[in-house]
Structure 1
């Protein structure tokens, strides 16, 4: 039991350290890019970073910023057809060296789309292709082997949630808005009760 709690605390500490290290200029730039988006945020990644990206897309959408997750490999094989002028891209890769994700970021940047990178690799190819880099690095994973993405994915999810929450606050998103887009489920019931 103590070992399980240790790994949980390890991830919590990684999030706390990331919060202390975040660059406020980069955060503000990312928020301004997202606020200026006139249509859709396309979020991409591969593997565990892809799962983090999918969660970010879902959270943004729930907070009133339309977003879609497109796996990087799918994006490279026609999936980028979803992108239009006025869109924004968020590319997630812990290393910043995942080939498919870097290729997507470079392609979108060439097309003039703003690219926000969530990466632990500040000198990586992904960082180099991005308009703004959000530092999601960790010194060590919450893993006995220091290999499986655990602390790094927890940090990326936490930063994504925080950005989505702040974006919704700036846009004046209300509990009535939550009720409107959640016609079912516990969240919908809670939101309808609170908005009456």
Structure 2
């Protein structure tokens, strides 16, 4: 089993405490929050706290996908998941029935972020075009979403904004003004 160590550093005396977390606890910010006092000086505020992240697994992802009260990180969760490691999970859960709308929107947004980061536009190359681009990954995700356009009809379009609405949805042939 993966060993994950969380550290807490006291803001007053800089004493460091650590604890071991299971992947099931470390994966979600709601479970890994740590309210404690310093055993050395009794101060309750921390100067720094580490947040270990477990290797993604199907079980952790499934738990996240069905529970609207769980999150991997506090904000920009879609960007956190927008990596090749998560693509199998994203594809499986975005098409699964019974996934709450907010979770489906996050999954779609993560897939769109992968397209944005990895598929160059012949007319306007994006700013992130560099050695880290993976055109095969981007094209794979682009084709996956083109085969599953109905998914965009199942979420509130207000979830899709900024670079997704401007740069990714047109590549999929989607206009926010009309149903797909």
User: TM-score, normalization: structure 2?
Assistant: 0.25
- Larger Rg over CA atoms: 2
Q: Please identify which structure carries the higher helix content.
A: 1
Bigger relative CO (Cα 8 Å, ≥ 6 apart): 1
User: TM-score, normalization: structure 1?
Assistant: 0.23
